[in-house]
Amino acid sequence: MSSRFIGVLDIGRTSAKVALVDLASRSESMARKLPNTVRSDGPYPHYDVEALWAFTLEALAELNREAPLEALSVTTHGASAALVGADGQLTLPVLDHAFAGPDELAVEYDAARPAFTESFTPRLPGGLNLGAQLFWQARRFPDAFEAARWIVPYPQYWSFRLSGVVASEITSLGCHTDLWNFETDLYSSLVLGQRWLHKMPAVRPATDVLGPVLPELAARLGLRPHVPVHSGIEDANASLLPHLLEREPPFAVVSTGPWVAVFAPGGSLSRLDPARGCLANIDAFGRPVPSARFMGGLELVQLCGEQPPVPHEAAIARVLEEAIVLSPSVAEGSGPFPERRARWNKPLHTLDRGTVHVAVSFYLAMMTAACLDLTGADGDVVVEGPFAGDRLYLQMLASAVGRRVLATADASLGASIGAALLARPPGAGPDQKTALQIVPAMPEMAAYARYWRSIVGDV
C-alpha cells in the first residue's frame, strides 16, 4: 500500500500532540506538541480548549503542507466531557479531572451511582469518574448545566469542532465513567435517574466518518475538499486497537509506565474486584475488556530511583538462591493487594542497590501476574512501554504465568497510531505488524514465583 497520511489530534493529560501518521509504515512522520495547560480562572480548574484549538489548526495546516492529509482522527484522555449548548459553544469549561471539587458531593453521588456489576466502574477520587463530574456540575451550576444541549465525550468534542457533527462513542462512555450499563449495552441507571439521557448524542463507532471537515476550516487549513473526520477514541483503547487488529482474543496487553495496566480481551468480568484495582473498559468494537492496574512505574522510581543500576549476575543469583522477596504493596491502598503493607523478608540494609533492583523487578512482575489473574486473562501476554526493555521483569512474568510473553520492540506504538488506524480502509488490517520478541521462561524463576505466592497468597 502506498503512503496514506492521517492527521491525528492526540490530547493527553499533560500534553497535546498533532501527528502526521503514515498508515503504510504505521509511524509518525512528523508531530507538533504543546503542554496541556490547566487554567485556574473561571468557576473551577479547566483545560484551555481555545489554546488547544489554535494549536491544532496551526499544526494541521503545517502538516498538510508536508503531506496532504487524507483523513483526520482524534484521541484524548478519558474522564472528560464537554457541555455544549445549542449554539455549539461550551456552557461550562471542560473540568480538569484531577480537581477534587466533585468530592464535595461524594455521599450524594455514592447513593446515585450504579453498582459495580452494572457499570464495572470503581469509585475514584475527584473527577476521575465522569459521572461524578457531571453530578457535581449539575448541582453547583444548574443553569449552565441545563443550558447544555449535549454532553459530549472529549474525543468527540474535538471531532465536532472539526466536522460540526455531534456524536458519542463507546470507548469513552465505558471508561470508568458510571455512564454505561455493561449488561444491557445502554446508558446506565445514573444517566436515566439524573434525567441526562436527552443530552446524550447518538453513539457511533470510533471508525465512523462523522462528516467532512467544515468547509471554512478546510479552506483555512489548505486541505483538499471533503477530508473525512472520524469519530475518535479514548487513548488507552487507541493503544489497544493495533493489538486487536492483529490477534484474536483471548490475549492480554500489559501497558507499562507510571501505572502498569493490564487489558485482557476475551477475559472474564466475574473476578473483577473494584477494591483491588479492577475495572472494565469497552474496546473500539464494543466488547468489554477486563482490566486491572497498579502503580508499578511509580513504585520502581520510589524504590530504585530514576536511573536504577544495571542488574549484575551476582545480584540475580543472590535473589534467586536466597529467595529475597519484596511483598506488596509499596503504593498502599491501590492495586491487587490494597490492604497490604510492603515488607522485605531480608533486612534491607544488607542488600546493595543492584540486589534491590532485581527483587523489585521480580515484585513488579508478580504484581502484574496477580492483575492478569484478576482479569481472567488467557493466551499470549504482550508487554509494551518501558518495562518491555526490562529483561528480568519479562522473564519473571513469563515464568510466573506459564504462557507466552511477548515484548514489543516497536517504539511507534501509541495512541496516535491507534487513532490513525480508525481511518484504515474497510476490512483492512494494519499494514505493518507489531515487532515482538518472545521471552523465555526460566525454571529457577518459576520456583521463585511459587515461593512469592506462598508468602503473599494466591489472588
Summarised one tens digit per residue, pLDDT across range 266-290 is 999 999 999 999 999 999 999 999 9
Checking if the pLDDT of 255 tops 80, the result is: yes
CA-closest candidate to residue 5, choices 238, 227, 240: 227
| Domain C-terminal end among 168, 203, 231 | 231
Give yes or no: residues 326 and 416 share one domain: yes
**Residue 458: pLDDT above 90?**
no
The pLDDT score that the predictor gives to residue 457 is 85
Residue among 18, 10, 20 at smallest CA distance from 67: 20
Answer yes or no: do 213 and 245 share one domain: no
Closest CA to 46 of 102, 95, 98: 95
Instruction: Specify whether 59 is located in the same domain as 142.
Output: yes
The tally of domains found in the chain comes to 2
- Based on the fold, state whether residues 73 and 101 are members of the same structural domain: yes
Q: Do the beta carbons of residue 64 and residue 32 sit within 8 Å?
A: no
Residues 399, 336, single domain; the answer is yes
Reported for 445-451, long-range contacts at CB under 8 A and 24+ positions apart, including other chains, are 445/320, 445/362, 445/395, 445/396, 445/399, 445/400, 446/399, 446/400, 446/402, 448/319, 448/320, 448/323, 448/362, 448/396, 448/399, 449/366, 449/369, 449/396, 449/399, 449/400, 451/323, 451/325
Does residue 243 share a domain with residue 219? no
CA nearest neighbour of 71 among 228, 297, 184: 228
67 by DSSP, 3-state: which? coil
| Domain boundary, last residue among 209, 231, 253 | 231
**If you average pLDDT over residues 370-374, what whole number do you get?**
98
Domain that holds residue 390: 238-456
Q: Is the dihedral of CA 178, 182, 186, 192 positive or negative?
A: negative
Q: What is the pLDDT of residues 396-417, one digit of tens each?
A: 999 999 999 999 976 556 899 9
User: Residue 204 belongs to a domain with what CATH number?
Assistant: 3.30.420.40
Residue 413: its pLDDT value, please?
A: 64
For the chain, what percent of residues have pLDDT higher than 70? 97
User: 219 and 263 share a domain?
Assistant: no
Amino acid at 361: S
pLDDT mean over 224-243: 96
